[in-house]
């Protein structure tokens, strides 16, 4: 049966879902688009026309409920700015729709509670688009840990590095304001917290964090990177700045953002060292799980290379994963950013490798063969995820994340944020009690 999908939030990420729906005509049909910017909706409809498909009706975000009823929508895809997710999810559930929402599910405990209550009240489904679960390497880690490769898990050490190309992108636009994104502990680390919850089959119980803004924002002056301009477009001072994102020379970015500015004043190309940043770029977190396991976690958003290292200590040995997605950002690659890279959607087969090893006690380490890196968004994970979320494939590994999974990932970040304010460890149940029966 073909289900009728609509989407709210027609920015960069929306394109992946719109394409995926077109790739699954047997199970999914796109019937409407909504956004606060009419221009950005038109851009998506232009892309549909260019791909030989019919444009779909456009609705303002304020008319979301009307759209869901009039277009007989079965399922809403939410790809809008993070702090708008909760309102749209609840509206859709109340209208009798299922929901696929981009991560983070929302940015605060109050929004999270509203979503969980609406889901329980309506009996409708919320899937959170945690695409990292669908990465074949991450699936392999899950299989190994669930299969007891290292025995009972005692502790996890997890470090994630965002390079100065990808990491910088969070400091150009709405992400730089914690009110919109929850900060990187919610917006970005949520992916990683979700992976650990899934890998360990555990829920976070207590969180301690220490983080700061070290590199971007006004720190640029101290480190010698600051240039004197507010935004890149029409600023000669940005011409040779490797941190500058040049919208005008890229037809896709120009159409989506520069040409849409009259709608809502959304500026996509701020100087990453301009004042006004309220998020952190260097984050240390300590988590204790309900299983008794602990995790030390670090996220750095200004690294020279992009990738991550995971170490899992167990009662029968240790698992180690090293993934290098991009071993450096060359000046040429920084230049490419002017054209090609928009975080989250660029297939970037650059210099990298992945190595997964299991170290059992009393035996030499065993290297686990990994599948070749797939092309496509997030190493093929986006295509694998949408095949499941759009109903074209079954999900025997239970990779598809529920509202409860979305809440657990979110609460780790929210607890970390609370700790940054108070300096004291935070019990996750004090933010939101997920043991209540309706959740």
What does the block give as tokens for 405? 């999974």
Token pair 């019990």 is found at 427
Sketch the per residue contact string, 233 through 272, with ligand NAD: x for CB under 6 A, - otherwise: ----------------------------------------
Distance between CA 129 and CA 325 in Å, rounded? 21
* Stretch in the footprint of ligand NAD (CB under 6 A) among 9-17, 120-128, 231-239, 406-414: 9-17
Q: Which residues contact 405 (CB under 8 A, 6 or more apart)?
A: 128, 130, 194, 197, 198
Residue nearest ligand NAD (C-beta atom): 11
By CB under 6 A, the residues from 60 to 79 that bind ligand NAD are: 61, 79
Residue 4 Cα to chain centre, angstroms: 25
Supply the DSSP symbol for 436: S
CB of 60 to ligand NAD, least distance (A): 9
Q: Which is nearer to ligand NAD, 37 or 127 (CB)?
A: 37
Phi, psi of 206 (to 5 degrees): -145, 145
- Check residue 12 for interaction with ligand NAD (CB under 6 A): yes
Count of Cβ atoms closer than 10 Å to residue 140 Cβ = 17
* Stretch in the footprint of ligand NAD (CB under 6 A) among 8-16, 192-200, 205-213, 429-437: 8-16
Sketch the per residue contact string, 355 through 384, with ligand NAD: x for CB under 6 A, - otherwise: -----------------------x------
Distance between CA 387 and CA 67 in Å, rounded? 25
Distance between CA 275 and CA 174 in Å, rounded? 13
CB of 13 to ligand NAD, least distance (A): 3
Reduce the DSSP state of residue 157 to 3 states and report it.
strand
- Check residue 405 for interaction with ligand NAD (CB under 6 A): no
By CB under 6 A, name the one of 74, 75, 102, 194 that touches ligand NAD: 102
Supply the DSSP symbol for 338: T
Distance between CA 90 and CA 369 in Å, rounded? 43
- Check residue 113 for interaction with ligand NAD (CB under 6 A): no
Token pair 């996750």 is found at 428
What does the block give as tokens for 259? 């040409």
Do 89 and 105 form a contact (C-beta atoms < 8 A)?
yes
CB of 342 to ligand NAD, least distance (A): 7
Q: Total residues contacting ligand NAD (rule CB under 6 A)? A: 23
- Check residue 118 for interaction with ligand NAD (CB under 6 A): no
- Check residue 80 for interaction with ligand NAD (CB under 6 A): yes
CB of 253 to ligand NAD, least distance (A): 10
By CB under 6 A, the residues from 168 to 227 that bind ligand NAD are: 187
Q: Which residues contact 196 (CB under 8 A, 6 or more apart)?
A: 156, 158, 202, 287, 295, 297
Do 401 and 192 form a contact (C-beta atoms < 8 A)?
no
- Check residue 341 for interaction with ligand NAD (CB under 6 A): no
By CB under 6 A, name the one of 7, 8, 253, 293 that touches ligand NAD: 8
Supply the DSSP symbol for 102: P
- Check residue 135 for interaction with ligand NAD (CB under 6 A): no
CB of 437 to ligand NAD, least distance (A): 29
CB of 64 to ligand NAD, least distance (A): 8
Q: Which residues bind ligand NAD (CB under 6 A)?
A: 8-13, 35-37, 40, 61, 79-82, 84, 102-103, 129, 131, 187, 344, 378
């Amino acid at each position: 049966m073909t289900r009728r999908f609509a989407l709210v939030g027609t920015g960069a990420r929306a394109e992946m879902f719109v394409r995926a729906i077109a790739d699954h005509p047997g199970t999914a049909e796109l019937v409407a688009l909504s956004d606060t910017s009419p221009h950005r909706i038109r851009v998506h409809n232009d892309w549909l026309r260019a791909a030989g498909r019919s444009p779909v009706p456009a609705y303002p975000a304020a008319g979301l409920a009307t759209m869901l009823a009039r277009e007989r929508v079965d399922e809403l895809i939410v790809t809008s700015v993070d702090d708008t997710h909760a309102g749209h999810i609840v509206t859709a559930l109340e209208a009798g729709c299922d929901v696929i929402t981009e991560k983070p599910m929302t940015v605060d405990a109050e929004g999270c509670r509203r979503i969980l209550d609406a889901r329980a009240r309506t009996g409708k489904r919320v899937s959170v688009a945690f695409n990292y679960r669908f990465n074949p390497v991450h699936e392999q880690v899950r299989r190994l840990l669930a299969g007891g490769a290292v025995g009972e898990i005692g502790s996890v050490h997890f470090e994630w590095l965002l390079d100065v190309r990808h990491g910088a992108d969070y400091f150009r636009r709405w992400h730089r304001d914690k009110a919109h994104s929850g900060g990187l502990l919610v917006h970005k680390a949520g992916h990683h917290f979700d992976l650990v919850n899934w890998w360990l089959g555990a829920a976070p119980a207590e969180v301690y964090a220490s983080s700061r803004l070290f590199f971007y924002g006004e720190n640029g002056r101290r480190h010698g990177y600051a240039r004197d301009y507010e935004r890149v477009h029409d600023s000669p001072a940005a011409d040779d700045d490797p941190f500058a994102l040049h919208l005008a020379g890229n037809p896709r970015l120009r159409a989506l953002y520069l040409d849409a500015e009259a709608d809502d004043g959304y500026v996509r190309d701020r100087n990453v060292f301009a004042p006004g940043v309220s998020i952190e770029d260097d984050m240390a977190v300590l988590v204790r799980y309900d299983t008794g396991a602990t995790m030390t976690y670090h996220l750095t958003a200004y690294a020279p290379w992009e990738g991550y290292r995971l170490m899992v200590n167990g009662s029968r040995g240790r698992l180690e994963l090293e993934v290098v997605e991009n071993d450096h950002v060359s000046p040429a690659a920084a230049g490419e950013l002017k054209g090609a890279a928009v975080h989250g959607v660029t297939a970037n087969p650059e210099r990298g490798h992945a190595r997964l090893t299991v170290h059992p006690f009393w035996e030499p380490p065993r290297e686990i063969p990994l599948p070749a890196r797939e092309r496509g968004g997030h190493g093929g994970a986006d295509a694998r995820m949408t095949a499941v979320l759009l109903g074209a494939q079954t999900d025997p590994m239970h990779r598809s994340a529920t509202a409860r999974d979305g809440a657990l990932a979110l609460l780790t970040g929210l607890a970390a944020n609370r700790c940054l304010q108070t300096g004291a460890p935070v019990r996750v149940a004090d933010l939101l009690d997920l043991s209540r029966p309706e959740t």
